[in-house]
Structure 1
């Protein structure tokens, strides 16, 4: 209730700040490189990475330094990884649902999802976010027969100090709420795990726009995801 009241009271300030940030923030290019491939040796692992500009790897020059490149390389030490990247800058949960709808049905062993930051910045209602995440997970399980779904929690957005208050504070509060709703949704799906990304909001972990991950942050994210995936698949195959 407190957050709802403060949102209404602050909206005349939040919206102009959000518009100003959108105009003034440095727009980084998408990384070059393929968005699908095969690497490694061993049993086949079909991997899908889906979501927003962070999933896409914005913040680095090439896909080899982005989440998809680093994660597929790490998993390639254990599996023959057939990977695919399906992401776009500015994507919300609704946009991801459209992407999944437009994909032909196929089987993926593992899906890594990065979504939510744009739902915060676009002021997506909490109940709408929860509903879309439920539909997304149902779609991944029913249409793509996914064995394991990893959902990256939103970062602590109040710590992006290059952005002004009170918007930054509001972002932080809303990102916590979306994470809380996500935890509730995940409990309904045995295939799902959500986790905090082990990359603090510090200069070496942040790209030059002050917002997207750097190569070091993508490395930490990929390492964390790879460990979770390998241990999860070992449990499934045991």
Structure 2
């Protein structure tokens, strides 16, 4: 019988033992030198009016990138840009909400943030049913990486998270945003960058397999984005507003097909 993926990587981990002192020092120095940015401010929900038809409801849940660290306002971070992109693609009004917490792990998101998430209501209407979101996007993983969560535990935590999401949002498209390309983070020195990057890629593969099995959609982060320093915030770790916009566009492309233009013609994004 084929061994679980995390068991096949144990010998590789042993090869890192000689580097342990170097990695520990680099991690300590990086934490000391990296500026601590605050989460985004402003409303944690919004509404973008569009064409006639049912409102498309978007819920964003997760760790610091859901909380908007690196941007000044949620409207100029992942949820706001995601709603803006979906309004253009779907030609519909979009209501959005975000429930984020810096430092949240996959287990924390599943046990505390998902139950607390609120489906956005349309201004001037009655509150909607708690399960009636159209799209739920979850950002998670970087804190499990930093805290050295075992791959076995990570697999169990992601499985539980998908199960909780399926129960909580019964009719929504569920999206797990992929792990960021840590091996390209400008704030991380070598070899720490490569070691954490390799671990992040392993975690991302586990996330993709779990999402597929659980009926969710895994959307990997475009690695090309990480080559543009302008897409990083001043800490070299979180996205800048431009980074959040680029990320939101990639998520929207994967999660929601574009609506046909008037006359049945394809939009520009469909024709590419």
Distance 1:119 1:232, change over 3 A: farther
**TM-score (normalised: structure 1):** 0.88
Q: In structure 1, how many angstroms separate the alpha carbons of the residues matched to 2:100 and 2:94?
A: 19
Correspondence 1:84-233 to 2 at 5 A: 84-97=97-110, 98-103=112-117, 106-197=131-222, 199-231=225-257
Q: Give 1:128 deviation, angstroms.
A: 0.8
Gaps in structure 2 of 5+ consecutive residues: 1-9, 119-129, 261-272
1:71 matched to 2:71? The reply is: no
Question: TM-score, normalized by length of structure 2?
Answer: 0.78
Q: Rate the CA distance shift 1:147–1:191 in 2: closer, same or farther, 3 A.
A: farther
Answer yes or no: is 1:53 the counterpart of 2:57: no
Write the distance in 2 (CA, Å) between the matches of 1:135 and 1:145: 15
Considering only aligned residues, what root-mean-square deviation do their CA atoms show, in Å?
2.3
Query: 8 Å contact 2:30–2:187 — kept in the other structure?
Result: no
Rg larger for: 2
Native 8 Å contact 1:206 1:217 kept in 2: yes
Distance in 2 between the 1:91 and 1:201 partners?
Answer: 26
1:73/1:103 CA distance change after superposition, 3 Å: closer
What's the CA shift for 1:173? 0.9
Q: How is 1:26-41 mapped onto 2 (pairs within 5 angstroms)? A: 26-41=35-50
**Do the aligned residues in 2 keep the contact of 1:65 with 1:215 (CA within 8 Å)?**
yes
* Secondary structure at 2:175 match in 1: strand
| Alpha-carbon distance in structure 1 between the residues aligned to 2:87 and 2:150 | 39
Q: Is the 8 A contact 1:40 1:80 kept in 2?
A: yes
